[in-house]
Structure 1
Amino acid sequence: MDVGKNLSNASRSLSNSSLKEKLSSLSVTPLKPITIHSNIEFAPARIPRKRRMQMLAVAAWSVAIALTTVLFLLLCSVPSLWPFLAMYQIWIWIDQSPEHGGRTSRWFRELAFWKYFADYYPASLLKVPDLPPDRPYVFGYHPHGATSYRGALATFATEATGFSAAFPGIKPHLLTLASNFRMPFYRDLILAMGVCSVSKQSCSNILKSGPGSAITIVVGGAAESLSAHPGTADLTLRKRLGFIKVAIQHGADLVPVFSFGENDIYEQMPNQPGTTIYTLQKKFQSVFGFTLPLFHGRGLLNYNIGLLPYRRQIVVVVGKPIHVEQCGKPDIQEVMRIQKMYIEELTRIWNCYKDQFAKARTRELSIIE
């Protein structure tokens, strides 16, 4: 029995050793486990429907230009529609609505879509004074943010934050580049929101249309977008005198507006003046008239990589109006005097509300240009 057991063990040992030799002779690459980058934080599968709708509204508006362009190109692929599309293109070139107050649709501004859009961040309006609708107004909006000004859109181009209820009788018009009104279908969307061209003629036409007419100018423009980093409030304002001259020429009260959180909804690459990135961005701006901030936000299915803005609170504070006397040709001394008062009110807004709405700031309000 012992001999048989020893023979059996020897046979099993031989079999195992030969099997190991055969396996070792095979060039088998072991399977590596699939790993997910530890820095990517994915959204949970179960999220309330309301939050899904908010995200979809922001995502849809973020790609609105692309969506409307694709739709136009798809329609161009249908030969039977060419006569209508040709007439539409002619209409785009001859339509003067962007220069004459737009085609505001109260129904469109009050769509539930915009409420979802504003609630995503959430964006809200804080009114400091009453604004009597017996005069025109020029709202100066700060800061620009890394991309399009989301707080200004929610506040002045929709009723999502309750602008008309807060300031009855005031008819707001958010202003943007004239080139946006050359984009098929997209132009009709923003015209329905009351958005108009930022040209001097457009400003003049709106302010002359009667008491309660108002324009909103994002003063810092593309240059300020390069300074839009979370926790900062670096404004391009010192040399921006055009909107003050327009206000004086039309006897329109100037209203400083500061949007807390506008700079926080995107993370931007370090691009301090003097760096290669900053130099290239400024060169691009000088050639094309706009710039390209290098930024990122979150995605549809994750919280930290993508082009959607972060869910960070935006509070648009409307300050006290600065009364100006109408003068067709204001001198530089008067313009600088009004600018000094404007900056003082803007600084007052910051100092009054920074501890409430800018708790994560890394430095104080600064006017860099």
Structure 2
Amino acid sequence: MEPTVFRGTEYSFVPTTIALALWLGAIHFTAALTLTALILLPSPLAFAIFGLLVFFMAIPLNDKNKWGQKLARYICKYACGYFPITLHVEDIKAFDPNQAYVFGFEPHSVLPIGVVALANFTGFMPLPKIKVLASTAVAFLKARKGFVRIAIEMGRPLVPVFCFGQSNIYKWWKPNGKLYAHISRAIKFTPILFWGIFGSPIPYRHPMHVVVGRPIEFKKNTQPSVEEVDAIHGQFVAAFEELFEKHKASAGHPQLQLRLL
């Protein structure tokens, strides 16, 4: 069976850049504002800024808000066309709009931007709502089994997903050495410097191909054993590796090698 393919429309540079600036620039602006308040501003003004940020956290623009929906549609529409992003779904009929799924999306890279292809407002996948979660440490698939346990406990199918080209949309740098590795493990985060076009948060325009495998079904078990988690995790890893090898040539990366940690 040939995969179902969706491709982001290539719009002009201005609206697509605005969409990326609203989406990714907001993250950088919040981080810069927080650091500025902590380091440079007097305490009363810093507390006022933190209060404003908490206010926006408590009353956000979301998918139940008219303005939030308009903003989400704009970002999803033009973000997919910026690179552009192409979505390949191996068996789209295997997905039930009334069912919930656990998507295992790799690689995380600097930012997992390709996941926008799965968003509801993008209109590609036949699923009404998708939530994206990230672990405290990223890119260690063989040792990470918590998402498998959650899927088993909830009785929700696992879906392997790989994004080709995502590692090319930012340039980045990080220190080497054991001290840096120890610090990263201690804070459960790997600090890096990264940048896009002209040193901004706007990523470089490189095509991305997101491939979605078939759902892995299993019986619900609210108290799965270690052996059961290991077995289903092994199925997921095998399906993930097969998905990668099957699509890497058609995605434009025939020489790419997959290394799972």
With the length of structure 2 as denominator, give the TM-score of the two structures: 0.75
Q: Shift of residue 138 of structure 1? A: 0.7
Picking from 277, 280, 292, the partner of 2:176 is: 277
Q: What are the equivalent positions in structure 2 for 1:305-344 lying under 5 Å apart?
A: 307-344=201-238
Counterparts in 2 of 1:280 and 1:265: CA distance versus 1, 3 Å = farther
**Aligned mates of 1:223, 1:133 — CA distance in 2:** 29
Q: Shift of residue 352 of structure 1? A: 1.3
**What is the match of residue 257 of structure 1?**
161
C-alpha contact (below 8 Å) 1:156/1:174 kept by paired residues:
no
Q: Shift of residue 332 of structure 1? A: 1.4
**What is the match of residue 84 of structure 2?**
122
**What is the match of residue 289 of structure 1?**
188
C-alpha contact (below 8 Å) 1:57/1:116 kept by paired residues:
yes
With the length of structure 1 as denominator, give the TM-score of the two structures: 0.55
Picking from 112, 131, 154, the partner of 1:149 is: 112
Letter in 2 for 1:365: L
Letter in 1 for 2:237: I
Q: Shift of residue 268 of structure 1? A: 3.6
Does 1:172 find its partner at 2:136? Answer: no
**Aligned mates of 1:241, 1:310 — CA distance in 2:** 33
Percent of aligned pairs with the same amino acid = 27
1:66-112 CA distance string (max 9 Å, x none)? 435788999x99x9xx99x96984795xx5x99xxx95247246532
**Aligned mates of 1:360, 1:52 — CA distance in 2:** 32
Which ranges of structure 2 fall in alignment gaps of 5 or more residues?
Answer: 1-9
Does 1:63 find its partner at 2:28? Answer: no
Picking from 107, 110, 114, the partner of 2:69 is: 107
Letter in 2 for 1:309: P
C-alpha contact (below 8 Å) 2:157/2:215 kept by paired residues:
yes
Letter in 2 for 1:357: A
Q: Give aligned pairs, total.
A: 240
Does 1:345 find its partner at 2:239? Answer: yes
**Aligned mates of 2:56, 2:253 — CA distance in 1:** 49
Q: Shift of residue 349 of structure 1? A: 1.2
Letter in 1 for 2:97: P
**Aligned mates of 1:344, 1:322 — CA distance in 2:** 11
Does 1:50 find its partner at 2:8? Answer: no
Q: What are the equivalent positions in structure 2 for 1:205-244 lying under 5 Å apart?
A: 222-224=137-139, 236-244=140-148
**What is the match of residue 3 of structure 2?**
none
Q: Shift of residue 159 of structure 1? A: 2.1
**What is the match of residue 197 of structure 2?**
298
* Secondary structure, aligned partner of 2:234: helix
Q: Shift of residue 262 of structure 1? A: 1.3
C-alpha contact (below 8 Å) 1:247/1:324 kept by paired residues:
no
* Secondary structure, aligned partner of 2:121: coil
**Aligned mates of 2:196, 2:62 — CA distance in 1:** 33
C-alpha contact (below 8 Å) 1:137/1:253 kept by paired residues:
yes
* Superposition CA RMSD, Å: 3.7
Counterparts in 2 of 1:52 and 1:278: CA distance versus 1, 3 Å = farther
